[in-house]
Amino acid sequence: MLTLPLKACSHYELSKALSDWLDDPNQQVTFDSSNPLEFVLPKPSFTSSDCRNELLRLQALRNAATEVLTKSNSHQHATEEGGLEDLQEYHACLLQFEQRGFPTSENNSNNNNECNSITLRWKGAYPPHAVESHSSLLWERTCVCYNVAALLTHCVASVDKTNRDACKQAVKQLQDAARLLHTLQQLVSSQQDVYVTVDVSPSHLQFWIKFLTASAQDYIFRMVSLGADVSTKHHLLSKLAQSAHELYNDALQATQDARLQSELHASAIEWGSYCKANSMLCAAKAMYYVALECRRCAQWGNEICRLRAALQKLESCRDFLRSLPSDGVASYTLRECLAMLPVVQDRFHEADKDNLRVYHEEIPRELPDVEALQMAKMSDGLPENMLQPKRPMFVGL
């Protein structure tokens, strides 16, 4: 499973910067005068002393996020030390500040009256981890939203794929991560000329949205395969696997983006290899489960044709996977492929012998494509725990 790398930040007294902005009459809300559709709230009428508790709470959450994100092996530390929950709560609190009129636009260097003293620095997620800084809470929320999605991918990476409940939880986490990045993609689309690091670029977000959707579909397949046996199970599994195959192909195509190939070449190659391998394996699974459905319906010739195709796909998948590093991200896919190969081989040879001895059905040279059924969905908007803080803020102000 691929894991989205984290963006780290350095310690910063955000509460002091917001207090200075709030109490300084010369610092006003900035806006882009060339964009008549931009929604701008007036600067709050209260002072920093009126919202001292809210500022301290925001600072405490930022400090907690900074601490876990700057540690080595920060994915693990963040999930073990409540970093995911802290980031979700931090995002909800930032949103409350934005809705109260705190800065959401960049400084306007042409007008000193539209400058604030806020400097929010975040490192890029990929080497050389260049620092990018901005002056709006929108940038802070962008980075927090990105990191929540990254931590969700880490949670899925350690899931037991043979446990149905674990697979069900993985589906939710993958769909939530895709949902976050889709929302983030919409949020940064208005900032294309402002945000420069590749991790928040449209092409990078697009790849991860497609990959996470494909992975969610893959886990839905696993979840169904671990469920109770019913007469329609093989037919459903074939359609789920076919959809996962197509979705992984979409993600593979997204890795060919010019910017990803230029700035993240090694990563893009690794992502592409992983997506290609899983696409090939899912295509083989789809063909195999169609063959099992053909057998249930006594379509012996069709069964053999599908089994032969499944076997060819598995052999191609095995050969491709063996060309990759043995300890790479696709190592589990190789083990799964090698485990499936003898099962399909035995079933093919047995079906072929049965047809020669008993059924004498003509074996078609080709069959229609396998029908696909996508069940992985991506809802719009953010989850509730990133919209509303646990405790109300700005009460009475």
Strand partners, 9: 122
Q: Is 9 helix (H, G, I), strand (E, B) or coil?
A: strand
Residue 80: its pLDDT value, please? Answer: 86
Residue 212: its pLDDT value, please? Answer: 98
Residue 107: its pLDDT value, please? Answer: 63
Q: Cα(120)–Cα(12) distance, rounded to whole angstroms?
A: 8
Higher-pLDDT residue of 357, 108: 357
Q: Is 226 helix (H, G, I), strand (E, B) or coil?
A: coil
Residue 204: its pLDDT value, please? Answer: 97
Confidence of residue 193 (pLDDT cuts 50, 70, 90): low
State pLDDT tens for residues 230-256: 888 999 999 999 999 999 999 999 999
Question: CA distances (Å), 15 to each of 22, 102, 177, 353, in order?
Answer: 10, 12, 29, 76
Confidence of residue 115 (pLDDT cuts 50, 70, 90): low
Higher-pLDDT residue of 299, 112: 299
When the pLDDT of each residue in the chain is averaged and rounded to a whole number, the result is 91
State pLDDT tens for residues 312-364: 999 999 999 999 988 888 999 999 999 999 999 999 999 999 999 999 999 99
Residue type, 108: N
Asked if the model's pLDDT at residue 227 lies above 70, the reply is yes
For residues 65-88, average pLDDT: 89
Residue 365: its pLDDT value, please? Answer: 87
The string of DSSP codes covering 317-374 is HHHHHHTS-TTSTTHHHHHHHHHHHHHHHHHHHHHHHHIIIII-----S--PPPP---
110-119, 200-209, 221-230, 276-285: range with lowest mean pLDDT = 110-119
Residue 194: its pLDDT value, please? Answer: 80
Cα radius of gyration (the chain)? 26
The string of DSSP codes covering 141-177 is HHHHHHHHHHHHHHHHHT--TT-HHHHHHHHHHHHHH
Residue 322: its pLDDT value, please? Answer: 95
Residue 220: its pLDDT value, please? Answer: 98
Confidence of residue 32 (pLDDT cuts 50, 70, 90): low
Asked if the model's pLDDT at residue 152 lies above 50, the reply is yes
Using the structure block, give the residue that is written with the tokens 């700035």.
263
Q: Cα(47)–Cα(372) distance, rounded to whole angstroms?
A: 58
| Percent of the chain's residues with pLDDT above 90 | 78
For residues 134-154, average pLDDT: 95
Residue 187: its pLDDT value, please? Answer: 83
For residues 270-285, average pLDDT: 98
Q: Is 181 helix (H, G, I), strand (E, B) or coil?
A: helix
Asked if the model's pLDDT at residue 36 lies above 60, the reply is no
Confidence of residue 379 (pLDDT cuts 50, 70, 90): confident
| Percent of the chain's residues with pLDDT above 70 | 94
Tell me the two tokens of residue 209.
């949205």
Q: Is 86 helix (H, G, I), strand (E, B) or coil?
A: helix
| Residue 161 buriedness (CB in 10 A; 0-12 / 13-18 / 19+) | middle
What value, to the nearest 5°, has the Cα angle with vertex 277 and ends 175 and 254? 55
Q: Residue 25: CB partners within 8 Å, gap ≥ 6?
A: none
Residue 111: its pLDDT value, please? Answer: 46
pTM metric for this prediction: 0.93
22-26, 27-31, 84-88, 136-140: range with lowest mean pLDDT = 27-31
